[in-house]
Amino acid sequence: MAHLPPPEPYAHLVDLAADATGGFVLHATDDYFAPKEALLRPGAPEWREGAYTDRGKWMDGWESQRRREPGHDSAIVRLGTPGSVHGILCDTTHFKGNAPEAVALDVIDAPHTATAAELLALPVAGDAGEHAALAARGPAWLRVLPRAAVRPDARNVLELAAPTGRVTHVRLHIHPDGGVARLRVYGVVHPDPRAFWGPGSVDLAAVEHGGTIAAASDAFFGPPSNLLLPGRGVDMGDGWETKRRRTPGSDWCAIRLGRRGVVERIDLDTHFFKGNAPQAAMIECLDEEALGADAVPQRLRAPEGWDLLLEPTPLVPHRRHVLEPARPLAATHLRVHIFPHGGVNRLRVFGHALDTPGEGARLAALHALPGAEARALFLSFNGAEAFAEGMLARRPFASVRDLFAAADSVWWSLGPQDFLQAFAAHPRLGDARRAGSQTERSAAWSRGEQRGVAEGEAGVLERLRDLNERYFQAFGFIFICFASGRSAAQVLEVLERRLDNPRAAEIGNAAREQARITRLRIGKWLAA
* Residue predicted with more confidence, 453 or 54: 54
Q: How far apart are CA 323 and CA 306, in angstroms?
A: 19
What are the angstrom distances between the C-alpha of 457 and each of 9, 430, 486, 487, 490?
A: 46, 11, 13, 10, 12
Looking at the structure, tell me whether residues 431 and 490 fall in a common domain. yes
Structure confidence at residue 326 (pLDDT)? 87
**Of the residues 136, 154, 188, the one at which a domain ends:** 188
* CATH number, domain containing residue 182: 2.60.120.260
Domain range for 265 = 193-353
CA atoms within 13 A on the CB side of 253: 29
Q: What phi and psi values does residue 435 have, to the nearest 5 degrees?
A: -80, -20
Report whether pLDDT(448) > 80.
Answer: no
**Of the residues 303, 330, 353, the one at which a domain ends:** 353
Structure confidence at residue 435 (pLDDT)? 57
Report whether pLDDT(509) > 80.
Answer: yes
Q: Beta-carbon neighbour count of residue 293 at 10 Å?
A: 9
CB contact set of 339 (below 8 Å; sequence gap of 6+): 250, 278, 279, 280, 281, 282, 312
* Residue predicted with more confidence, 8 or 120: 120
Structure confidence at residue 436 (pLDDT)? 64
Looking at the structure, tell me whether residues 268 and 399 fall in a common domain. no
Tell me the mean pLDDT in the region 425-441. Answer: 72
pLDDT digits over 392-429, tens only? Answer: 999 999 999 999 999 999 999 999 999 999 999 998 88
Looking at the structure, tell me whether residues 176 and 320 fall in a common domain. no
pTM beyond 0.85, yes or no: yes
Looking at the structure, tell me whether residues 137 and 208 fall in a common domain. no
Domain count, the chain: 3
Structure confidence at residue 441 (pLDDT)? 75
Structure confidence at residue 455 (pLDDT)? 78
Looking at the structure, tell me whether residues 372 and 443 fall in a common domain. yes
pLDDT digits over 304-327, tens only? Answer: 999 999 999 999 999 999 999 989
The candidate with the shortest Cα–Cα distance to 76, out of 166, 192, 167, is: 167
* Residue predicted with more confidence, 520 or 11: 520
DSSP secondary structure code for residue 428 in this structure: B
Structure confidence at residue 484 (pLDDT)? 87
pLDDT digits over 48-102, tens only? Answer: 999 999 999 999 999 999 999 999 999 999 999 999 999 999 999 999 999 999 9
Structure confidence at residue 447 (pLDDT)? 73
| pLDDT band, very low/low/confident/very high, at 295 (cuts 50, 70, 90) | confident
Looking at the structure, tell me whether residues 175 and 85 fall in a common domain. yes
Structure confidence at residue 440 (pLDDT)? 73
State the average pLDDT for the chain.
Answer: 94
Regarding beta strands 124-125 and 141-149, do their DSSP bridges make them parallel or antiparallel, or are they unpaired?
parallel
Report whether pLDDT(189) > 90.
Answer: yes
pLDDT digits over 341-350, tens only? Answer: 999 999 999 9
Does residue 177 fall inside a structural domain?
A: yes
Report whether pLDDT(433) > 60.
Answer: no
| pLDDT band, very low/low/confident/very high, at 4 (cuts 50, 70, 90) | confident
The candidate with the shortest Cα–Cα distance to 386, out of 352, 362, 422, 354, is: 422
Does residue 36 fall inside a structural domain?
A: yes
